[in-house]
């Protein structure tokens, strides 16, 4: 028996909500499959992308479950009971899985932090080597034309600055070498600033994913708790329905 007035509009609304809920769940399943294909385990960048996607797309299955379980036992077809029971247990399993990925999120943050440091060290070494190589070629240059050609290659088109064009070769070399020496600390500072920015962004993403996974896990487990009626024996459900 339906506790509320048995009107056609109410029945249609309930059926519509549940239909939309099943649609949300089906679309969420497609999303999950696309996240894990292709599977690239032990790749920290892929694992971060996968866990981020699982957290950011959690709203759809949560809304879907809320709509599917709407109005509890009212207007349920016989085939639905097994589906509802399965979805209730699935909510518990998914909630537990969200808690299980928490150590993975922290581990991937540590691995990516190490990778970031290694990448920027390689980049810094390359830039310092290029600066040193340019300085050596500059010292070997014997004319303004050679110096100008080196500058054009290094800067992508810009040659001698106007204030150096009237100087002799020795003075030009000294001025350029002084700029190179003064610029080396700036190269290191820029690299360190870039590392700090990337680490901060990675940390913020990790905190966001971690907290999102915690909230998601609690939400799914709470849904399992609230849907205990789907796991009750049929006779007990019939008694509830008759109230």
Q: Are residues 43 and 74 in the same domain?
A: yes
Q: Which domain holds residue 137?
A: 115-201
CB of 176 closer than 8 Å to CB of 144: no
Q: Is residue 63 part of a domain?
A: yes
Residues 6+ positions from 11 with CB-CB distance below 8 Å: 75
pLDDT computed for residue 164 by the predictor: 53
| Integer Cα distance of 169 and 180 in angstroms | 16
Angle at 72 between CA 68 and CA 78, to 5 degrees: 80
Q: Are residues 219 and 99 in the same domain?
A: yes
pLDDT computed for residue 116 by the predictor: 83
The pair of structure tokens assigned to 35 is 């996240």
Q: Are residues 103 and 27 in the same domain?
A: yes
Our count of domains for the chain comes to 2
Q: Are residues 146 and 225 in the same domain?
A: no
pLDDT computed for residue 168 by the predictor: 66
Q: Is residue 209 part of a domain?
A: no
Region label for 184, one of left (φ > 0), alpha (ψ between -120 and 50) or beta (otherwise)? alpha
Q: Is residue 20 part of a domain?
A: yes
Q: Are residues 85 and 18 in the same domain?
A: yes
Q: Is residue 207 part of a domain?
A: no
The pair of structure tokens assigned to 200 is 């901060």
pLDDT computed for residue 41 by the predictor: 86
Q: Is residue 61 part of a domain?
A: yes
Q: Are residues 77 and 57 in the same domain?
A: yes
Q: Are residues 37 and 129 in the same domain?
A: no
Q: Are residues 68 and 147 in the same domain?
A: no
- Report mean pLDDT in 10-residue bins for the chain, 243 residues: 59 89 96 92 90 95 95 79 94 97 94 85 83 79 71 62 60 76 80 86 94 98 94 59 48
pLDDT computed for residue 91 by the predictor: 97
Q: Are residues 20 and 94 in the same domain?
A: yes
pLDDT computed for residue 1 by the predictor: 42
The pair of structure tokens assigned to 235 is 């006779």
Residue with tokens 């790749």: 43
| Integer Cα distance of 60 and 87 in angstroms | 14
pLDDT computed for residue 131 by the predictor: 80
Q: Are residues 93 and 123 in the same domain?
A: no
The pair of structure tokens assigned to 50 is 């996968």
| Integer Cα distance of 210 and 176 in angstroms | 50
Question: Per-residue DSSP letters for 30-53?
Answer: HHHHHHTSS--TT-HHHHHHHHHH
pLDDT computed for residue 2 by the predictor: 44
Q: Is residue 208 part of a domain?
A: no
Q: Is residue 126 part of a domain?
A: yes
Q: Are residues 185 and 227 in the same domain?
A: no
Q: Is residue 74 part of a domain?
A: yes
Q: Are residues 52 and 130 in the same domain?
A: no
Angle at 53 between CA 51 and CA 59, to 5 degrees: 115
């Amino acid at each position: 028996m339906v506790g509320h007035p048995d009107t056609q509009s109410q029945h249609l609304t309930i059926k519509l909500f549940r239909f939309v809920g099943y649609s949300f769940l089906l679309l969420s399943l497609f999303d999950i499959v696309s996240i894990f294909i292709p599977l690239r385990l032990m790749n920290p960048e892929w694992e971060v992308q996968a866990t981020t996607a699982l957290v950011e797309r959690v709203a759809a299955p949560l809304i879907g479950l809320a709509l599917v379980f709407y109005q509890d036992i009212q207007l349920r077809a016989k085939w639905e009971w097994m589906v509802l029971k399965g979805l209730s247990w699935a909510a518990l399993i998914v909630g537990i899985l969200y808690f299980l990925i928490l150590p993975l999120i922290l581990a991937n943050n540590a691995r990516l932090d190490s990778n970031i440091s290694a990448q920027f060290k390689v980049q810094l070494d390359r830039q310092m080597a290029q600066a040193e190589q340019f300085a050596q070629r500059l010292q070997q240059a014997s004319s303004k034309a050679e110096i100008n050609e080196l500058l054009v290659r290094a800067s992508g088109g810009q040659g001698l600055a106007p204030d150096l064009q009237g100087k002799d070769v020795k003075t030009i070399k000294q001025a350029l070498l002084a700029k190179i020496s003064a610029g080396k600390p700036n190269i290191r500072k820029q690299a360190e600033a870039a590392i700090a920015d990337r680490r901060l962004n990675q940390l913020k993403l990790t905190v966001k994913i971690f907290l999102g996974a915690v909230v998601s896990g609690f939400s799914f487990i709470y849904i399992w708790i609230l849907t205990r009626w789907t796991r009750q024996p049929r006779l007990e459900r019939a008694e509830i329905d008759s109230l």
